Amino acid sequence: MQEEPAQGQDRGTAPEGSPAPSSSLLQELGQLGSAVRRLFGAQLQLLAAELGLARAAVSWLLLAALVATVAGVALGLTLLGLVGVLLAGWFHSWPWALAVLAVLQILLLWGAIALFRRCMHWISLPATRQELGAVFSETVHRAERTADHKIAEEGKS
């Protein structure tokens, strides 16, 4: 007498140790592999798109910085002209107004130079020099240790 297969099974997939489950496993692994390839392909496409946007953003940032610099210089010149007109109205003389404006600009330039020199002095103080030297030497030693570690790992392989 022949047994009827269980419900949901046909004769070709009976659990008699046949290779059918392994081929189904291979199919699933193949599907998993293709899904992983599609996923990583999509991730690579996304990365390429992001890098393209970043390149475009850098160009636009440089253009925006140039426009901001030009606008800042134009604003400064406009304000200097306005101060010159106000001084000319106050002194009732253009030469005196321009002379006072020149003195104000010289004082501003002298203040900027003095601040720059003070900051350079602070950087050159002994404690600052030692701290900067320690930071630089630690960075160099860390890079050397990393390089030595990588060489040692490659030597083990």
Residue 16 confidence (pLDDT)? 54
In a domain, 30, yes or no: yes
Residue 150 belongs to a domain: no
Q: Which residue has the higher pLDDT, 142 or 78?
A: 78
Domain annotation covers residue 38: yes
83 located within any domain:
yes
pLDDT at 133 over 90: no
- Taking residues 71-84, report their average pLDDT: 94
| DSSP conformation letters of the chain | -PPPPPTT--GGG-TTT-SHHHHHHHHHHHHHHHHHHHHHHHHHHHHHHHHHHHHHHHHHHHHHHHHHHHHHHHHHHHHHHHHHHHHHHHHT-HHHHHHHHHHHHHHHHHHHHHHHHHHHHHHTSHHHHHHHHHHHHHHHHHHHHHHHHHHHHHHH-
Does residue 55 belong to any structural domain of this protein? yes
The number of domains in the chain is: 1
Answer yes or no: is 128 within a domain: no
8 Å CB contact between 5 and 11: yes
Which residue range forms the structural domain that includes residue 55?
20-93
Residue 8's pLDDT is what?
Answer: 47
Residue 38, pLDDT score? 86
% of the chain surpassing 90 pLDDT:
37
Q: Is pLDDT above 80 for 129? A: no
| 89 lies in some domain | yes
More confident residue, 43 or 85: 85
For residue 100, tell me if it sits in a domain.
no
